[in-house]
Amino acid sequence: MDNKIYENTEIINKEIKKQKQLKNINTKQISDTHHTYEVLYKQRPILFSILCNKFS
């Protein structure tokens, strides 16, 4: 991984953590403009289960 990308990721993660502690943000509502993390983590086990059933 490019060192600059790693540094930027660290800066962003620290800021998110700080804002969460200050109760300025709800991390479950962070989005990639298509899905929130909350939705992704709810769908993840369902999709994994479907894949396991499909290929078992």
- Which residues face 38 on adjacent strands? none
Predicted TM-score of the model (pTM): 0.60
Cβ neighbours of residue 20 closer than 8 Å, sequence gap 6 or more: 26, 27
- CB within 8 A of 31, min separation 6: which ones? 37
What digits encode the pLDDT tens for the residues 1-50? 578 888 999 999 999 999 999 999 999 899 988 889 899 999 999 999 99
Residue 36 contacts residue 30 (beta carbons within 8 Å): yes
pLDDT reported for residue 3:
84
pLDDT in the model for residue 17 = 95
Give the residue extent of every domain in the chain.
3-54
Angle at 33 between CA 50 and CA 36, to 5 degrees: 50
